[in-house]
Amino acid sequence: MTKQTGGMTQRPFGMTQRPVPVIGQGTWYIDHGDRAAAVAALRKGIDLGMTHIDTAEMYGDAELVVADAVDSRRDQTFIVSKVLPSNASRRGTITACERSLKRLRTDRLDCYLLHWRGQYSLTETVAAFEELVTAGKILSWGVSNFDADDLDELLGVAGAGRIACNQVLYHLQERAIEHSVIPWCEAHGVAVVAYSPFGHNEFPQPGSAGGRVLETIARAHGATPRQVALAFLTRRASVFAIPKASSAGHAADNAAAGHLTLTKDDIAALEKAFPRGKEPRSLPML
Ligand SMILES: NC(=O)c1ccc[n+]([C@@H]2O[C@H](COP(=O)([O-])OP(=O)(O)OC[C@H]3O[C@@H](n4cnc5c(N)ncnc54)[C@H](OP(=O)(O)O)[C@@H]3O)[C@@H](O)[C@H]2O)c1
């Protein structure tokens, strides 16, 4: 079930069932440029319904920027942070979460993710996540960069109905998750969060073959190519996207994708212009 709030489509976020906007906000490298502009960009995004904010202990000072942007609007936001694999032991996960809470100036995370699989057993990390849930320091937990076989193993450790999301690389030119990861997540009620939805720095060039297809569809909807890309990636009810924008203008542009619906013909043209390709041996990640 989806609903529109202020033009932004929201959907239940996996097992949490909480309504979360289809388009959220990434924060990797957001601390590298003009901090005031970054805060203004995130605030503009929140104003326009992009209340899902993704950050991580790995992203330098990004958590501090998020804290400044969210300020008194904590209850309106859905904040996600991530523990580094090198910290994801039974105790290390708890300590890392407490550090993130402090930097984010909040008492809880809406969702806490294992950034990618590392040296600690899933049993240890899941036990720590569950302890954090019991303590009210996180409201749900999930993973990132997990392939279908990793998810099978995780399900065996955690049991059904515990994994909120899997955050994975997904953009027009990298559709590998459509083979096994999205079907796995849909079968188990796990939200899929598309990271680097513009390909990080690889968005199709205007005038290239794919760029021209995007431009044609964008023109027909009075939209931009990036809005079309976001609408394509979130065409399935299980998928959310978290583009990163460092300016209020870019944030506003991205938020408007939250009420763009593509036609079947648009989707077919994009499928053709940006083919899914064969399933790779391992899950691509940045
Ligand atoms: N879990 C993981 O392992 C993982 C890995 C990578 C990323 N992530 C998450 O996913 C988020 C998004 O991915 P990403 O930061 O790699 O890249 P991205 O969102 O695919 O692309 C960001 C780039 O697009 C530009 N941009 C954004 N909106 C635009 C607009 N409306 N018009 C023109 N340009 C626009 C940005 O420029 P400006 O900055 O100038 O606005 C930036 O150069 C990250 O920030 C992070 O939160 C997670």
Residue-wise pLDDT for 135-149, tens only, equals: 999 999 999 999 999
How would residue 2 be classed by pLDDT, with cut points 50, 70 and 90?
Answer: low
Is 27 near ligand 1, meaning CB less than 6 Å away? yes
Q: Position 2: which residue type?
A: T
CA 80 to mean position of chain CA atoms: 9
Going by alpha carbons, the residue nearest to atom 11 of ligand 1 is 26
pLDDT, tens digit, for every residue of 95-112? 999 999 999 999 999 999
Q: Checking DSSP bridges between strand 141-144 and strand 163-169, what pairing results, if any?
A: parallel
Q: How far apart are alpha carbons 63 and 128 in whole angstroms?
A: 21
Q: How far apart are alpha carbons 201 and 190 in whole angstroms?
A: 28
Nearest atom of ligand 1 to the alpha carbon of 247? 41
Ligand 1 centroid–CA 212 distance in Å is 22
Structure tokens, 14: 């996996």
Query: Which CATH superfamily does the domain covering 19-273 fall into?
Result: NADP-dependent oxidoreductase domain (3.20.20.100)
Q: Taking 70 as the threshold, does the pLDDT of residue 4 lie above it?
A: no
Structure tokens, 278: 């064969």
pLDDT, tens digit, for every residue of 192-205? 999 999 999 999 99
Q: Which of 4, 77, 48 is nearest to 261 (CA)?
A: 4
Is 52 near ligand 1, meaning CB less than 6 Å away? no
Ligand 1 centroid–CA 244 distance in Å is 3
Ligand 1 centroid–CA 30 distance in Å is 9
Is 57 near ligand 1, meaning CB less than 6 Å away? no
Averaged confidence pLDDT in the chain: 97
Q: Checking DSSP bridges between strand 111-114 and strand 191-195, what pairing results, if any?
A: unpaired
pLDDT score of 1: 56
How would residue 5 be classed by pLDDT, with cut points 50, 70 and 90?
Answer: low
Contact (Cβ atoms closer than 8 angstroms) between residue 64 and residue 99: no
Q: Taking 90 as the threshold, does the pLDDT of residue 3 lie above it?
A: no
